[in-house]
């Protein structure tokens, strides 16, 4: 089995949910999706992230450590959450991502982990 990162993308300034009811429904749908992943044996790890403004960037690449506030990349899309899943192949991982995208109502990127 290969492990895949399923990354949930949020667009900057785009409210994903029209109403509080729609947001609560998405939370319930994601919870059901997570439970399905766990029962199927595909679940490795997953979680939602706070807003990009909560980020700090630690850069120790030039000898001195610098810590800055905010996201590293200036981008219209930000990582909103993720799952790490096990799947037999890319097609199966994409099928899992399709169900995750439907549950959270956001685009989901599929990326395999590098071989060890």
CA distance 88 to 104: 23
Note the pLDDT of residue 52: 82
**H or E segment at 106?**
none
Q: Where are the domains of the chain?
A: 2-112
CA distance 116 to 98: 27
The residues facing 83 across adjacent strands are 6, 46
CA distance 12 to 75: 8
Tell me the pLDDT tens digit for each residue of 66-78.
999 877 667 677 8
Nearest CA to 109 out of 90, 92, 94 is that of 94
Confidence of residue 31 (pLDDT cuts 50, 70, 90): very high
CATH of domain 2-112: 3.30.70.1060
Note the pLDDT of residue 12: 65
């Amino acid at each position: 089995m290969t492990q895949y990162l399923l990354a949930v993308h949020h667009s900057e300034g785009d409210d994903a949910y029209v109403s509080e009811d729609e947001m609560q429904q998405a939370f319930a749908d994601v919870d059901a999706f997570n439970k399905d992943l766990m029962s199927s044996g595909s679940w490795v790890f997953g979680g939602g992230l706070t807003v990009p403004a909560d980020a700090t960037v630690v850069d120790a690449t030039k000898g001195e450590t610098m810590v800055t506030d905010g996201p590293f990349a200036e981008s219209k899309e930000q990582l909103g959450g993720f799952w790490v899943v096990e799947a037999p192949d890319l097609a199966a991982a994409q099928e899992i991502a399709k169900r995750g995208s439907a549950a959270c109502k956001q685009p989901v990127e599929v990326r395999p982990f590098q071989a060890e």
